[in-house]
Amino acid sequence: MKIAIISDTHGLLRPEALTAIESVELILHGGDIGSADILSQLAQIAPVHAVRGNNDLNLPWATDLPDHLTLNLNGWPTLLTHDIADVPALLDSLTRLIITGHSHKPLIEWRGDRLYLNPGSAGRRRFKLPVTLALLDIHAEALEPQLIHLLP
């Protein structure tokens, strides 16, 4: 299973992002979406699961979005939430994949038998941080994450 993980679009869905994710089977958005149109565009590529970010909280179209999701991705118990600060209160002992956004700083890090993944920000560049998203190949026995840089 190949999935795209995108976050912090803040109302901007770059053509480079659409090109990078055109062949995925599922899309996860880690919040700070910024516009319902972003989710509509992503849904034209593959099914989308999204959580609200702090900048989505007062937007009428985002009221039905959850603050976090637990998913089973090809046998991998997964937690999707916007802010890593919320992870300790939400973490289940079986969770093996933790996906967050918020910081705009990409992260792919194994902590024991858990993969922590932050795709960074795919929207407007913040400070000198890269503009990125992540692709994740999920096999029954392995996770293969890849960070995709959208701008030089």
Angle (CA) 10-31-63 rounded to 5° is: 100
Nearest to 20 by CA among 96, 120, 129: 120
Token pair of 108 as six digits: 């792919």
Select the CATH number that applies to the domain covering 2-149 from these four: 1.10.3720.10, 3.40.250.10, 3.10.20.90, 3.60.21.10: 3.60.21.10
From first to last of the 152 residues of the chain, give the pLDDT tens digit. 999 999 999 999 999 999 999 999 999 999 999 999 999 999 999 999 999 999 999 999 999 999 999 999 999 999 999 999 999 999 999 999 999 999 999 999 999 999 999 999 999 998 899 999 999 999 999 999 999 999 98
Sign of the dihedral defined by the CA atoms of residues 69, 58, 54, 149, in that order: positive
Q: How far is CA 148 from CA 88, 116, 141, 152, in A?
A: 27, 16, 23, 11
CA nearest to 71, candidates 119, 134, 113, 29: 29
How do the domains of the chain map onto residue ranges?
2-149
